[in-house]
């Protein structure tokens, strides 16, 4: 498996986790909650477009990620690789700063639905950031 194939696989896994996180967060009204900003359950749908939810990146970032994956599946593409590197690096910071994500990764915060989504999403972002390096 080449480096590009591994990057596409990691980015696809992370995108699936991000989309699943969007659905679960919207249904459970999990708004974003980072140290410098907090959403509200009433606006979680609107906020998911630009700020994300408690367990997913913003829809705009997920759309960019889908674009980059599509480009890389067609062959090597430095622009798409750089996009995944930026997204992966940014999302690592997002997962670490999001209060509910940190909680879901502790023994006290285990949830049969949310914990696997957060774990897969976080692992995917780390892999994206590392595999997309030149």
CB neighbour burial string for 75-102, b if at least 16 within 10 angstroms, e if fewer: eebeebbebbbbbbbebbebbeebebbe
Average pLDDT per block of 10 residues along the chain, 134 residues long: 89 98 97 94 94 96 98 95 97 96 97 98 97 93
pLDDT at position 1, please? 60
- The pTM of the full predicted model, rounded to 2 decimals, is 0.94
For residue 126, the tally of other CB atoms under 10 A from its CB is: 17
């Amino acid at each position: 498996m080449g480096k590009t194939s591994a990057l596409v696989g990691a980015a696809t896994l992370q995108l699936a986790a991000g989309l699943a996180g969007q659905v679960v967060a919207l249904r459970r009204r999990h708004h974003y909650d980072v140290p410098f900003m907090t959403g509200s359950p009433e606006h979680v749908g609107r906020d998911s477009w630009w700020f994300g939810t408690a367990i997913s990146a913003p829809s705009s970032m997920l759309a960019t990620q889908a674009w980059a994956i599509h480009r890389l599946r067609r062959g090597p593409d430095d622009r798409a690789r750089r996009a995944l590197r930026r997204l992966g690096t940014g999302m690592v910071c997002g997962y670490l700063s999001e209060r509910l994500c940190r909680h879901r990764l502790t023994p006290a915060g285990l949830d049969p639905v949310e914990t696997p989504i957060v774990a897969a999403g976080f692992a995917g972002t780390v892999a994206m950031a590392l595999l997309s390096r030149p």
